[in-house]
Amino acid sequence: MRRVERSAEIGATPGEIYAFLADPANLPRWQTGIVSAERTSPGPIRTGSTARVVRELMGQEIAADITITEADEDRRLVLTSKVSGIGVTAALDLTPRDGGTLVAFSMEIRAESLFMAPVEGIVAGAAEQELDSSLARLRTALTETDDR
């Protein structure tokens, strides 16, 4: 298993950030590499909710089903997916700070077999390069939302 993590302070409340993050339709607006995302389960976002995302990775588009495995409103959102023998868990933790929120974004990438171990490293390397960019895009997307 490989773990990558980054954090950034964003000038919005945990509630504003959580509401934005919990809507899968917003994924392409902030997460680097996501081409499209749509909900595949009805009702409010909660543990067990699902979505389908299309991600560009190393020049190829890959479709993945994601499941929300933890939804602690205004505090924590955890998403999991498995594609071609690689499991990914992404966690977003929100901590109030003066005038904003510290957003900690971590990803755990696991190969489900020894055969997939080299791919685990490639995916982790790509994720590590994208985390800072994704957090910067999140900050920009929330600022644009506030300006409307």
Q: What pLDDT does 9 receive?
A: 95
Q: What residues are paired with 15 via a beta bridge?
A: none
The domain 2-147 having CATH identifier 1.10.10.60: the answer here is no
Question: What's the token pair of residue 52?
Answer: 């389908």
Per residue in 14-35, pLDDT tens?
999 999 999 999 999 999 889 9
Q: What pLDDT does 59 receive?
A: 83
Q: Could you give the CA distance from residue 124 to residue 79 in angstroms, rounded to a whole number?
A: 16
Per residue in 111-128, pLDDT tens?
887 778 877 777 877 788
- CA nearest 4: which of 88, 114, 116, 96? 88
Per residue in 79-102, pLDDT tens?
999 988 888 999 999 999 998 999
CB 57 within 8 A of CB 126: yes
Instruction: Please work out, in degrees rounded to the nearest 5, the angle formed at the alpha carbon of residue 9 by the alpha carbons of 35 and 50.
Output: 35
CB 81 within 8 A of CB 52: no
> Average pLDDT over the chain, rounded to whole?
90
The average pLDDT across 27-44 equals 93
The average pLDDT across 31-42 equals 94
The average pLDDT across 74-79 equals 97
Query: What's the number of CA atoms in the CB half-sphere (13 Å) around residue 27?
Result: 21
Q: What pLDDT does 148 receive?
A: 43
Amino acid at 126: A
Pairing of strands 76-83, 86-97: antiparallel
Please give the residue that has the higher pLDDT: either 5 or 60.
5
Q: What residues are paired with 131 via a beta bridge?
A: none
Per residue in 47-75, pLDDT tens?
999 999 998 877 889 899 999 999 999 99
H helical segments located in the chain: 14-21, 27-30, 117-147
To the nearest 10 degrees (0 to 180), the angle between helices 14-21 and 117-147 is: 120
| Domain edges within the chain | 2-147
